[in-house]
Amino acid sequence: METTFGDLTFLFIVFLLSATLLLLISRKKTRTSRRPPGPPGWPVFGNMFDLGSMSHQTLHSLRTKYGPVIWLRLGSMNTLVVQSAMAAAELFKYHDLDFPDRKVPDALTAWNYHEGGLSLNSYSPYWRMLRRLYSAEFLSAKRINDTAAMRRKCVDNLVKWIEAENGGEVDIGHLLFVASFNLVGNLVLSRDVLSSESEEGFEFFDAMNNVMELGGKANLADYFPFLRRLDPAGMKREMVREMGRARRIVEKFVKDRIEEKKSGREINDEHDLLDVLLNQKGDAKDPPVPESKAINAVLEMFFAGSETTSSSTEWAMAELLQNPSSMRKVKAELDRVIGRSSSSSKVEEGQLEELQYLQAVVKETLRLHPAVPLLLPRNAVKDTDFMGYFIPKDTQVLVNVWGIGRDGDSWDEPSAFRPERFIGSSVEYKGQNFELLPFGAGRRICVGYSLAHRTILLVLATLLHLFDWEAAGGAESVDMRERMGITLRKLVPLKVVPRRRAELLTEDEAKI
């Protein structure tokens, strides 16, 4: 049979098409095979059921088998998990701008919550404007110094509540949470949100508690975004209701403040976050903050700033109660720096930097019990090459700082509570030392870490200096198991019995 020119052209085209197809298939294969290692998943559901409620612990246990960079499929959500200091350094130093957005849980899109504040916003001009505003006007070193009196008031109240128990058993985690909640209320709205005079304060507290509880729950709609409209677990509906209750109260505060401003109230050094938000004049580049976003930004501070601070303080107390030699060292340092006479028994913020051992206790606590163990999930904005792996756009990125804090490659005796490891060491938690990242790192590092550092130290120093503490049921009864909510909390709340230290009582107090 004769081969014509037309046949040859046809064969050439078929060859070309097949070659292109093969190339595409092989490229796709090499691309997918360049994914990080990870446990095999179920069809459709992937690894959704493998992680359990303590996903940070499960992921940490997978490190030995799969290494420090793991690939998971959670329903239809691709997920990259980073769990060593070296991989975290790679991520934050070289890929911060490849993963600058957040993966937003569906329930937290209720009332467009995710668009008002910093934590869930995309890396947008609005986020940059807000972050600048917070760093300059609300959480700057000067502003934190200026608000020392608010912290003093909240800590004094905490001491009064403890004393009101008359040496009985105290649920210290609960009291710490209420104190932190009121501290945020003072910084943000200039009011004790929870005071006996305010009924709406209790309504707000209750609604925010429910919002936080819901915010920490897993939701099917996050793993299969096509289910979002159906909201099969009803989480968004519940969130709309609870956040709606909290919003109605904050909306009233905001409207009152707008009226006050109209009637000539001047903003001065005493300004709170609401003033900062409403006073953002705005220009073509950075428009003013609309009222609905300001409400969400206010709510965010209660979300981000209260339980994180209080549960970290509760973990520190629990660790100290289990480690009497560390407790003795803290107390000896407090006696030396603060003094033992009743007239000088109050801890001043200016003294906190001298408390080197207490600072080491806080670092050691946050190494073992970071309040946000997987950080807030980031999201890939484009296809990226990460440590030789192909990471497609829209991949969720988790950084297991809980696992990194317990990684034998970075720490000697990683599970032992040994604050001494930080004495004379330059390791800090400001996002530069990748083995210790309780506040995250990079552009999205916690905006409140200086405030949190100051508050935790002040509260611990005050409580440990004024009282001797015993665990109700003895030191061996302290249960260190974890529970995951919006933060990593103690499963069993810490119950303690305080005794006011006699040598620090004034003569009048001692007579009572």
What are the φ and ψ backbone dihedral angles of 234, each rounded to 5 degrees? 70, 15
Helices and strands in the chain: count of H runs, count of E runs: 18, 12
DSSP state of 445: S
CB 164 to ligand HEM: min, Å: 26
Annotate 228-249 with three-state secondary structure: CCCCCCCHHHHHHHHHHHHHHH
Q: Pick the binder of ligand HEM from 170, 189, 375, 457 (CB under 6 A).
A: 375
Whole-Å CA distances, 240 to 118, 376, 385 = 20, 21, 38
CB 260 to ligand HEM: min, Å: 23
Please report, as residue ranges, which positions from 47 to 106 form the binding site for ligand HEM (by CB under 6 A): none
Whole-Å CA distances, 223 to 75, 102, 175, 219, 226 = 5, 15, 36, 7, 9
Nearer to ligand HEM, 446 or 459 (CB): 446
Beta bridge partners of 498: 469
In which residue are the tokens 């179920």 written?
42
Cα(34)–Cα(69) distance, integer angstroms: 12
Site string for ligand HEM, 284-323 (x = CB under 6 A): ----------------xx--xx--xx--x-----------
Q: Applying CB under 6 A, does 116 fall inside the site for ligand HEM?
A: no
CB 233 to ligand HEM: min, Å: 25
Q: Applying CB under 6 A, does 247 fall inside the site for ligand HEM?
A: no
Q: By the 8 A CB rule, do 479 and 491 touch?
A: yes
CB 445 to ligand HEM: min, Å: 5
Q: Pick the binder of ligand HEM from 75, 215, 419, 440 (CB under 6 A).
A: 440
What are the φ and ψ backbone dihedral angles of 452, each rounded to 5 degrees? -65, -45
Nearer to ligand HEM, 308 or 410 (CB): 308
Q: Whose CA is closest to 361, among 409, 323, 335, 406? A: 323
In this structure, how many other beta carbons lie within 10 angstroms of the beta carbon of residue 418?
17
Which residue number has the CB closest to ligand HEM? 440
Q: Applying CB under 6 A, does 439 fall inside the site for ligand HEM?
A: yes
CB 256 to ligand HEM: min, Å: 22
Q: Applying CB under 6 A, does 147 fall inside the site for ligand HEM?
A: no
CB 485 to ligand HEM: min, Å: 14
Nearer to ligand HEM, 367 or 465 (CB): 367
Q: Pick the binder of ligand HEM from 70, 372, 457, 471 (CB under 6 A).
A: 372
Q: Which stretch binds ligand HEM (CB under 6 A): 4-12, 262-270, 444-452, 458-466?
A: 444-452
Nearer to ligand HEM, 480 or 497 (CB): 480
Nearer to ligand HEM, 212 or 304 (CB): 304
Cα atoms found within 13 Å of the Cα of residue 11, Cβ hemisphere only: 6
Q: Pick the binder of ligand HEM from 83, 119, 359, 379 (CB under 6 A).
A: 119
Contacts of 2 (CB under 8 A, 6+ apart): none
CB 455 to ligand HEM: min, Å: 7
Q: By the 8 A CB rule, do 364 and 322 touch?
A: no
Q: Applying CB under 6 A, does 118 fall inside the site for ligand HEM?
A: yes
Nearer to ligand HEM, 304 or 352 (CB): 304
Nearer to ligand HEM, 223 or 315 (CB): 315
Q: By the 8 A CB rule, do 239 and 109 touch?
A: no
Whole-Å CA distances, 360 to 8, 134, 353, 406 = 78, 28, 11, 16
Cα(256)–Cα(251) distance, integer angstroms: 9
CB 447 to ligand HEM: min, Å: 5
Nearer to ligand HEM, 334 or 452 (CB): 452
* Count of residues in contact with ligand HEM, rule CB under 6 A: 25
What angle do the packed helices 449-466 and 148-164 form, to 10 degrees?
Answer: 40
What angle do the packed helices 172-189 and 307-322 form, to 10 degrees?
Answer: 150
Q: By the 8 A CB rule, do 468 and 499 touch?
A: yes
Q: Pick the binder of ligand HEM from 91, 155, 347, 371 (CB under 6 A).
A: 371
Q: Token pair for residue 67? A: 């290494």
Q: Which stretch binds ligand HEM (CB under 6 A): 57-65, 419-427, 439-447, 492-500?
A: 439-447
Interface residues with ligand HEM (CB under 6 A) are: 118-119, 131, 300-301, 304-305, 308-309, 312, 371-372, 375-376, 438-441, 444-448, 451-452
